[in-house]
Amino acid sequence: MHFKNFDIATFLQGSWQKKPLHIKNPWAAWANPLVPDELAGLACEEGVESRLVTQSDATWQLEHGPLAEERFDSLGRSNWTLLVQAVDQQVPAVSALIEPFRFIPNWRIDDVMVSFAADQGGVGPHFDQYDVFLIQGAGKRRWQVGGHCDENSALLPHDDLRLLANFEAEETFICEPGDILYIPPGVSHDGIAMGDDCMTYSIGFRAPSRSELIGDWCDDLLADMQEQEDDRYGDPDLAIQENPGEISINAVDRLHAMITEKMGDRDNFARWFGQYNSTPKYPQIDWQPEEPIEMEELREQLQQGVPLSRNPASRFSFIRKDQQLLLFIDGQCIECAGDAMSIAETLCAQTPVTIDEALIHSDGVMDLILALYNRGCLAFEPED
């Protein structure tokens, strides 16, 4: 799928992280990539994150999956919503929805959550702390959009759902199949299904908070320091003080430097962040092939022009450093040089990828592809 009528530059300049935008079916040809029964089947599987939200009068209830198949028979014809997280990792056609949005860097993209709602179903007025594109897959949904919210906004009492206690709509949009509603971080919104078979695809983005970055970066630094001899404060030029109770400016400067010198190492931070940000959403899932491929078979397949595709569950990104490229995949850092740099960039930028004949004879390129294939990060594109 790709856009036919959507000006990316205008959107980034005028709407991205600034204001909501209703985009009327911009696709060259829209087709709903998933049917409700398939989504319900995913919600019944172990290892798939799913939720069921039901409403009765003013009471909201939340159930976590996996759900029993018979649970759907008792739901009735209205006021419930099924949500399944990271469906792009399970269904290639849903993963393909992300591709047109890669004008946003890979490291910012999170996953695709899919919801199915019965008539009048929704999850209540709320706000997210990240950008989201809400693609209407099938049916209709009425979206009401309000003002900005933050941690001080009043919420309804509920253990699991963060629903706004005082929601006031400022705009209303009716989304039909193929329409997209963009919502910036912090903007309140409430979507309600209009009729049956309402399916919505939510492409969410990652936005690490300052506290998350500091906490996880410090945890990594501490773990690293515990594996080596730690340095301690020293003052070989100590002089007599007028008052022994004073913590001198020189002492504070040295203590502060002990911390900032370690935390301020930009190269180490960049490497850490690439690994941290590329960590899989569900690291417990093993995507390795049942049988590892040998170099000879890999080379033969590539010479026949069989394209490679990224595993939708794998996060690919890179950072340039001097004459090298640091490739980050699934929490690992791979240092690439020479021909391997260009293929690493290509793998991050597009999927599927057909490898040029010249690169098939490059040991660095083939070693990289072999390692990624046997980790489950790459696979041969299946025939249609």
- Give φ, ψ of 143 to 5 degrees: -105, 130
> Does one domain contain both 99 and 27?
yes
pLDDT band at residue 229 using 50, 70 and 90 as cut-offs = confident
Read off the pLDDT of each residue in 221-245 and give the average, rounded to a whole number. 88
pLDDT of residue 36 exceeding 90, the answer is: yes
> Does one domain contain both 185 and 223?
no
The reported pLDDT for the residue numbered 225 is 84
Single-letter residue type at 275 = Q
> Does one domain contain both 300 and 214?
no
Sequence-ordered list of residues with C-beta below 8 angstroms from that of 52, at least 6 positions apart, any chain: 43, 62, 63, 65, 67, 71, 80, 81, 82, 83
pLDDT of residue 193 exceeding 80, the answer is: yes
- Asked whether residue 360 is domain-assigned, the answer is yes
Read off the pLDDT of each residue in 35-47 and give the average, rounded to a whole number. 95
> Does one domain contain both 59 and 162?
yes
Q: How many domains does the chain have?
A: 3
> Does one domain contain both 316 and 214?
no
Are 327 and 320 spatial neighbours (Cβ–Cβ below 8 Å)?
no
d(CA 121, CA 112): 19
- Asked whether residue 131 is domain-assigned, the answer is yes
> Does one domain contain both 258 and 126?
no
pLDDT of residue 230 exceeding 80, the answer is: no
The model's pLDDT over 177-187, given as tens digits with 9 standing for 90+, comes to 999 999 999 99
> Does one domain contain both 66 and 161?
yes
The model's pLDDT over 243-266, given as tens digits with 9 standing for 90+, comes to 999 999 999 999 999 999 989 999
- CATH number, domain containing residue 156: 2.60.120.650
- Asked whether residue 350 is domain-assigned, the answer is yes
The model's pLDDT over 340-351, given as tens digits with 9 standing for 90+, comes to 999 999 999 988
Helices 339-349/363-375 angle, 10° precision = 40
pLDDT of residue 56 exceeding 90, the answer is: no
> Does one domain contain both 38 and 111?
yes
> Does one domain contain both 152 and 58?
yes
Helices (H) and strands (E) in the chain, counts: 10, 14
d(CA 220, CA 243): 39
- Asked whether residue 172 is domain-assigned, the answer is yes
pTM to 2 decimal places:
0.91
pLDDT band at residue 227 using 50, 70 and 90 as cut-offs = confident
> Does one domain contain both 147 and 253?
no
- Asked whether residue 22 is domain-assigned, the answer is yes
> Does one domain contain both 99 and 219?
no
Domain housing 128: 8-205
The model's pLDDT over 125-158, given as tens digits with 9 standing for 90+, comes to 999 999 999 999 999 999 999 999 999 999 999 8
- CATH number, domain containing residue 321: 3.40.366.30
pLDDT band at residue 98 using 50, 70 and 90 as cut-offs = very high
